[in-house]
Chain A
Amino acid sequence: MQNALFVGVSAQAALARELDVIANNMANVSTTGFKARSARFQEYLMPVASADSFQRSDRRLSYVIDQGTPLDLTQGPVEPDGNPMHVALRGDAFLAVQTPQGVRYTRNGAFELDAGGNLVTSDGYAVQGDGGPITIGQQETGLAIAPDGTVSTNLGIRGRLRLVTFANAQALKSEGANLFSSEAPARAAGPGAHLEPGALERSNVKPVVEMTRLMDVNRTYTMVSSVISRLDDLRGTAIRRLADVA
């Protein structure tokens, strides 16, 4: 009977984690280039002792564990804002950013120029081009980013944004600040990847889905909780009845 309690608790722990995932998705409903995560549960079969000596074999116990939080890598809505320094990515590509911790990857194309004329993210990290960082001279105007990532000004082409893809994008680690890191090497993106200049990719969190999951998680949690309470009542009754007999 103790086991039944533990099965319930394993479900509750997993559900509480799923709520954390939903809360993080909802908090990032306006984060540029954010990719939602979902929670994936797995049945965990409890290994049982061999039960030849019992009349009936032990039932196998199924616990719940949260096995992973896979990324939802679908395209977020593209919102045009007319800023020539903003780009939205189409396709499964990522942009490469040079941070003090190494190269990181992002879908957030809200770029700016720093005082030295380097193309940087809103944290000031240099955006990688195919041939190193992209720098705009003081006298140059008319900065434009073409759909293939070519950055040009009135004085000509200044570089091309480095677009990369991954064999297994699910293996990307979220680093916060809209950045991902990868242990596997990135490879150059194919021709299918292109940019939408003057636009930003919004978060791909779907509020309706998240709210539905929120209700689901809440109700399931209550149900499991009521199962646990009933089991507890059952045990209390058993103890009282057994005491009566004695």
Chain B
Amino acid sequence: MRALYAAATGMAAQELNVQVISNNIANLRTTGYKRQQVHFQDLLYQNLRRSGSSTSDQNTILPAGLALGSGVKTTSTARAMTQGPLAQTEKDYDVAIRGEGFFRIRLPDGRTAYSRDGSFDLDAQGQMVTRDGYLLDPGVTVPNTATSVTISATGAVQATLPGQTAPQALGQFQLARFVNKVGLESIGDNLFVETAASGPAITGLPGSEGFGNLQQNYLEEANVNAVTEISSLIAAQRAYEMNSKVVTAADQMLSTTSQMFRG
């Protein structure tokens, strides 16, 4: 019975939907997290009576056909790369991006990863690193004598050094942007790597058009909206339940069929 399998694909799809929603809710407080959204598509149809086939020799045609679908499939769990709200942290090395760019992070294996999480710290050598200790690319080194470090909206890092009145330039942030940032691959730890779908990274300075500018002492929160996620969760759970009712009904009809024969 086709109905059993169609309803089973529906249950599987809603189970995946709940998984994605629960991951979004779990990352409600993850810095720079971008929520995922599941996209579904209907599966192939079997056309038992094709619409448009002729019904007589008088050129009358069938206005609507008889087509039976076979369920649903998941196409993508695309990320919504919209801006998350900025939250003030009052930490000098916390930087948020307002705009489309990504921070460039050098991974220990030499690859470059991209991130919206700007919660940086200094390592023992005074280099700016992520919470996992990965270096910012291009690197910024802050001498241990430096005070009042400022990061401007255009990414210039300046600090006051002892014995000098004018602030000294310590480095410059660079951002990366992508034609299709939805195509980036998540590797966990708030990091993304480029793929064939995202296109190559385009590097530029903060403040130039399309890259967005920086905001020191702020962090970008997740763009997850708790109310939307909870209502999607309710909808997904009910849809799962209703698909299971279809399975039950198909089962009952099969059982009715087998009971017709009393021997």
Q: Is A3 interfacial (CB-CB < 8 Å)?
A: no
Q: Which residues from A are CB-within-8-Å of B47?
A: 173
A66 to chain B, nearest CB (A): 6
Q: How far is the CA of A16 from the CA of B2 in the complex (A)?
A: 9
Instruction: Apart from A30-B72, A67-B49, list 20 A-B contacts with CB within 8 A.
Output: A17-B66, A19-B3, A19-B253, A22-B246, A23-B243, A26-B239, A27-B72, A31-B42, A68-B63, A83-B82, A114-B183, A115-B180, A154-B210, A170-B64, A176-B42, A176-B69, A177-B42, A177-B75, A214-B246, A218-B252
Interface string of A53-89 (1 = CB under 8 A from B): 0000000000000111111000000000111010000
Chain A residues whose CB sits within 8 angstroms of the CB of B238 once the complex forms: 207
Is A93 an interface residue, CB under 8 A from the partner? Answer: no
User: How far does the alpha carbon of A121 sit from the alpha carbon of B202 in the complex, in Å?
Assistant: 23
Residues in B neighbouring A52, C-beta threshold 8 A:
none
B80: chain A residues at CB < 8 Å are 81-83
A233 and chain B: residue at smallest CB distance: B262
Query: In chain A, what residue has the closest Cβ to B228?
Result: A81
* Stretch of A126-134, A224-232, A237-245 contacting B (4+ beta carbons < 8 Å): A224-232
**8 nearest CB pairs, A to B:** A27-B10, A24-B69, A141-B210, A115-B199, A23-B3, A23-B6, A170-B64, A31-B40
CA gap between A122 and B180 in the complex, in Å: 12
In the complex, whether B138 has a CB less than 8 A from a CB of chain A is: no
B-side contacts of A94, CB under 8 Å: none
CA distance A30 to B197 in the complex (A): 26
Q: A-contacting residues of B (Cβ < 8 Å)?
A: 1-4, 6-7, 9-10, 13-14, 17, 37-45, 47, 49-52, 62-72, 75-76, 78, 80, 82, 100, 177, 179-180, 182-183, 196-200, 202, 209-210, 228, 235-236, 238-239, 242-243, 245-246, 249-250, 252-253, 256-257, 259-262
A105 to B262, CA, bound (A): 51
- Most B-side CB within 10 Å, residue of A116, A175, A222: A222
Which residue of B17, B51, B82, B243 contacts A26 across the interface (Cβ within 8 Å)? Answer: B243
Contact B64 A71 (CB under 8 A): yes
Give Cα A159–Cα B157 distance, bound, in whole angstroms.
41
Which residue, A30, A139, A172, A210, has most C-beta atoms of chain B within 10 A?
A: A30
Inter-subunit contact B42/A174 (CB<8 Å): yes
CB-CB nearest in chain A for B252 = A218
A28 and B42 contacting across the interface, CB-CB below 8 Å: yes
Contact among B62, B179, B200, B250 for A23, CB-based, below 8 A: B250
Q: Which residue of B lies closest to A15 (CB)?
A: B253
Q: Are A17 and B68 in contact, with the CB atoms below 8 A?
A: yes
Across-interface contacts of A27 in B (CB, < 8 A): 6-7, 9-10, 13, 69, 71-72, 243, 246
10 contacts across the A-B interface (CB closer than 8 A): A27-B7, A28-B69, A29-B239, A40-B64, A81-B37, A83-B37, A113-B182, A140-B210, A183-B52, A232-B261
**Any chain B CB within 8 A of the CB of A37?**
yes
Asked whether A174 lies within 8 Å of B63 as measured between CB atoms, the reply is: no
**Chain B proximity of A243: nearest CB distance (Å):** 18
Contact of B64 among A24, A171, A184 (CB under 8 A): A171
Q: Which of A15, A19, A66, A136 has the most CB of B within 10 A?
A: A19
* Distance, CA A19 to CA B182, complexed state (A): 38
Question: When chains A and B are docked, how far (Å) is the Cα of A134 from the Cα of B215?
Answer: 34
Q: Is the CB of A68 within 8 A of B239?
A: no
Across the interface, B75 reaches (CB within 8 A) one of A122, A215, A222, namely A122
Interface size on A, residues (CB 8 A): 73
A1 to chain B, nearest CB (A): 16
Q: A168 contacts the other chain (Cβ, under 8 Å)?
A: yes
Task: Verify B52–A26 contact, CB threshold 8 A.
Answer: no
B202 touches A139 (CB 8 A): yes
Contact status B249-A228, CB under 8 Å: no
User: Within the complex, what minimum Cβ distance (angstroms) separates A210 from chain B?
Assistant: 7
Would B13 and A30 count as touching, CB distance under 8 A?
yes
CB atoms of B66 and A67 under 8 A apart: yes
Q: CB-CB < 8 A to A170: which residues of B?
A: 51, 63-64
A152: interface (CB < 8 Å): no
Q: Is A201 an interface residue (CB 8 A)?
A: no
Contact across chains for B45 and A174 when beta carbons are under 8 A apart: yes
Residues of A within 8 A of B52 (CB): 171, 183-184
Residues of B within 8 A of A112 (CB): 78, 180, 182-183
For residues 180 through 228 of chain A, which have their beta carbon under 8 Å from a beta carbon of chain B?
A: 183-184, 207, 210-211, 214-215, 217-218, 221-222, 225, 228
